[in-house]
Every structure is written in C-alpha cells, then in structure tokens.
Amino acid sequence: MAGRRTSAASVAVLAAAVALCGLAGPAAAGSNDLLILLRPQQAASGSSPAVPQSAAETSPATPQSAEVPAPSPAAPASSEQAAVPSVEPAPPGPQASLPPHGPGPSPTEPQPTPPAADATAAPPELAVHPSGFPFVYPETWSEAVPFAAVPGWAEDRQDLALKAFLISCRQVMAARNPPRSAPVVWQALREVCPRALALPQPVGREAARAFFEAEFRAVRFARFGDQIEADGFLTGYYEPEVLASRERTDEFTAPFMLRPDDLASARGRTAGFDARSGAGRWVGGRFQPYFDRGEIEQGALDGRGLEIAWARDPVDVMFTQIQGSARLRFADGSTLRIGYAAHNGHRYVPVGRVMIERGIATRAEMSMDFIRNWMAQNPEPARDIRWQNRSYVFFRVKTELSAEDGPVGAQGVPVSDWRSIAVDRNVHAYGTPVFIDAHLPTGPTETGEPFRRLMVMQDTGSAIVGPARGDLYIGTGLEAGSIAGRIRHRADWYVLLPRAISPDATEVPVPEPRPRR
C-alpha cells in the first residue's frame, strides 16, 4: 500500500521508540511486534473472532471477572492477586516485614503547575525503523479510523473524559522515567499534557472534543494471536460500601485486617507455595507459607490488634478483597476508606468456579448476586467454598481520600465513575485515552444498552491481559456492584494515540495468523 511521509516531530518520536525498546533491526514478515498493523481486507473477513477466556478463570479483578468462569488485579482492577512488593527474604526482625505501601498523592492537595517535559527523559536519537513504527504493542493489529467513523463519538461527553485525563496528566508529568510498557506513548503524552493542562477551565463539551481530535488519532485495536480477534472484551468493577462496626459485636464478627508485621516477601523464591505471589513468614529460621484464608478466619491472627473494623459476614470481607478497596459505613453515618496493603502469597481461586464445578450453579446463572444470595442461605457449605480460595488480602486506611474521590487506581490517582478503565499494564501506558463501543447491561434490565464513551487508562488488574481487555470502573455501592457483576461483554476499542506517533507507515508487513495446532 502506498505510504505517507511522517513529520519531523513524528520521526523524532519514532526514533525514541527504537532506543527505548532496544530494537536494532527491521522486523521480518510474520513479526507480531509492530505498533500498528494495517489490517488487510482478507484478514478482516477470513478469520473468525476468538472467544476470550473467562475473566473468572484468569483473575479476581472484579466480581464477575473473579467469580464467573467465562478473560485482572485484577485487578482490578482488583488487588486480590496483586503482587507483594519485591523484597528479598530476610531473617526475622525489622527487615523481614513487608515495607508499607506509601500513600499515593493526595487528590485534595493543590497540584503544582506541571513542569515541561523533562529533557532527561528523552532517549538518544537513532535511525528510524524502515516500517516507521515503534515496537511497543506486541501481538496486536491496529487500524487508523477517522473520528467521524467512530460510532458514538459525536454524541459523547468528552468534557467528562477530559477531567479524568487532566488528573492522569499531572501524574504523567510528575514522573521522570518512562514505564517499561509503551514508553513511546508515554513520551508523546508528556508533549500533549502541558497543552491539556493549559486549557482555560471549565472546558465545554465541544472544546473538549476538538482538543482530543486535534491532539490524537483514533486507532482501532484488537488482539492478534493464533488468529485476529475482531473485538475486545470488557468486565466491570466497583468500590463496595460495607456496613461495619468499629468494635466487634455479636452482629459484626468478620474483621478487615491490617498487614501483619511477620508477613515477608519472597519474590523469586520457591517456598512450597505460589512463588509468583511471593510472600510467607519466618518460622524457626525457615521461610514458610503464610496463614491461608481458613486459618485466618479461624483465628490465626487474633490478639495482634490488626483489626481495622468488623463486617457482618466474611462474604463482605471476601468481596472487598476481590475489589481491593471499600468504603466502610458506620452506624453514626461516618465512613472510612480502606485499600489494598498486602497479600498472603497463596494462589487465588475464584469461588464462582468452585461452585460451578460442584454443580451448585451453571455458567449462565453465575454472578456476584447469585454468590451472595447462595452463601447467605447456605452458611456452612459457603464457608468450605470460601476456604478453597486460600488467598487473603490485608488492608490499610486511606486517609488521603476525600468522601467525593474514587478509589486510587494503579496510576496513583483516584479513578472516576464511568470514565476510568483498568488495562493490561504490560501493554499500555497509564493516561492513554480509549473510546469504547459496546452493548452493556448498564441499566436496570439485562437486555443491555449502547455504551459509547471515552475512557482513560488509570488502573490495572491481574485478570486484565491483552491489548483490548479492560475493566470499567462503575462507582461505589450495591447498585454499582450489581451492574459491574453483569458486565462480561465484547467491545470495540479505539485507542487515542498522540498524533506525534504516526500510523502512516510505508509497506508495513502484516503477519499471517499462526495456524492452529
């Protein structure tokens, strides 16, 4: 196909890509490493979409993604499988405990004027790769799409997405080193963000739309594996609001717990349990697995003063651990925000999958609401099923958040209802906008409605794997949780890439789908 010339600015950014990604030679035909693969007509029609793996079987990121075996902490975006900070095991003593997670930037503190993009963050200039593309999106096909052809773009409220984008921009500008994933996108965002932050406030709907159209180019993304998948996959997550008590009572008996001092990291070390999660404890000079869910619920940590507050039921604690954060509401009307602090190192097992395997429910019946109702009606069998998930999450009090703020996502900023999305952090750069076109059950019925909104990548989760796999942040409370638990749907992804990253390459080789075995 005929190519177009890239601008000098594009060449500079593309040169940066080569340096950051460490690629010296051109990609041969059949490579899956091109940033943008211009999709040929025969590829579009000749391969059938692959059905994504259920979120339930890959991660506890969200209630439905954690519980319904159907495609990420999680993620959320959940924290149930979030990795414990990397610290080498040490003998018992002050160095054996996990370092505390420092509080993220306070969303209520005044933000200083963002500095201009730091020249030290720019990589050395090298020759541009002949294809014209940075190599930052492996196993992905992409095609540039005019904004006029993006379904629902003209009807969306881009001014609401711009508010979330500005929050991400402050974090992007505060960072001094590029991320390991999509560093070229991050560098290009650092050029866009100062112009975004300089916009006179408030920015209206039309002005916000014009800004995104001037600064970005819409690029449709999909996964390219054994075959091209025509669309992406979405789940939803939320922040639970849980009735709680500051004291243990006959009614409130299930504690939310702080991280224990004897929980130690063992990243990279096999200690008889899931070494990937990398946590345990020192016992008699030997590094052993930490207490699992059943042991902790039976009192293994009682008497240490770790209780933050108490919930009515261990099921409330379990779902809060899956989501990674919660808003605790007390009888006097006051609230307390808690969030992920640490993980006990045991492998996460979705209880929804266990229930299906035991014949309690079918895949079609499974949802967060089903699990809650069944466990409330069957407390003894429910305990055994809970204990099949040996994973356990500890929390910290999040004093840096106001009542109006959403929970803090992996980017270190509060997420926004219906405008923040958790993505694969090994693929995307936080702060990147993405327009989602889907049909989701966001209303009171199960039939679903068109969902066409501009989102901002601000979170991640261990179940969120792939370039077009995401977790929508819905909001706080039971209604948000009910909606989140119903979302397991396909979607079209239109990632907004800064215009400095040109998708107009010359003669880009398009890999053929790998044959199925």
Query: Which tokens in the block code for residue 2?
Result: 């005929």
Dump pLDDT digits (tens) for 62-109: 333 334 343 333 334 444 443 333 344 444 443 333 333 333 444 444
What ranges make up the beta strands (E) of 266-379? 279-283, 286-288, 307-311, 325-329, 335-343
Region 416-429: mean pLDDT is 93
Pure H helices in 175-249:
183-197, 205-215
Domains of the chain as residue ranges with CATH: 1-517 (2.40.40.10)
Dump pLDDT digits (tens) for 432-445: 999 999 999 887 66
Residue 98's pLDDT is 33
Mapped onto helix, strand or coil, the DSSP state of residue 327 is: strand
CB contact at 8 A, 81 and 247: no
Fill in the amino acid letter for 501: I
Residue 446's pLDDT is 67
Strands 433-440 and 449-459: antiparallel
Residue 465's pLDDT is 83
Strands 232-239 and 469-476: parallel
Residue 160 burial class via C-beta count within 10 angstroms: exposed 0-12, middle 13-18, buried 19 and up: middle
Residue 109's pLDDT is 44
Mapped onto helix, strand or coil, the DSSP state of residue 377 is: helix
Query: Which tokens in the block code for residue 53?
Result: 């793996």
Pure H helices in 62-157:
63-67
Omega before residue 164 within 30° of 0, cis = no
Please identify which residue in the block is written with the tokens 């305990």. Answer: 383
Least confident of 48-57, 164-173, 292-301, 447-456: 48-57
Region 40-69: mean pLDDT is 37
Q: How confident is the model at residue 322 (pLDDT cuts 50, 70, 90)?
A: confident
Strands 420-422 and 449-459: parallel
Reply yes or no on whether the pLDDT at 266 is more than 60: yes
Say how far residue 134 (Cα) sits from the centre of its chain: 23
Residues 477, 486: Cα–Cα separation, whole Å: 15
Mapped onto helix, strand or coil, the DSSP state of residue 318 is: helix
Residue 453's pLDDT is 97
Residue 488 has, within 13 A of its CA and on its CB side, a CA count of 27
Reply yes or no on whether the pLDDT at 250 is more than 90: yes
Reply yes or no on whether the pLDDT at 379 is more than 60: yes
Residue 401's pLDDT is 80
Dump pLDDT digits (tens) for 179-220: 988 898 999 999 999 999 999 999 999 999 999 999 999 998
Q: State which of 104-108, 327-331, 367-371 shows the largest mean pLDDT.
A: 327-331
Least confident of 105-119, 292-306, 379-393: 105-119
In 3D, which of 260, 73, 42, 212 has the Cα closest to residue 141? 42
Distances from the Cα of 47 to the Cα of 34, 43, 510, angstroms: 20, 6, 14
Dump pLDDT digits (tens) for 268-292: 444 333 334 478 899 998 999 999 9
Region 360-377: mean pLDDT is 91
Residues 303, 296: Cα–Cα separation, whole Å: 12
State residue 377 phi and psi, 5-degree precision.
Answer: -85, -15
Region 483-494: mean pLDDT is 90
In 3D, which of 47, 482, 69 has the Cα closest to residue 226? 47
Omega before residue 314 within 30° of 0, cis = no
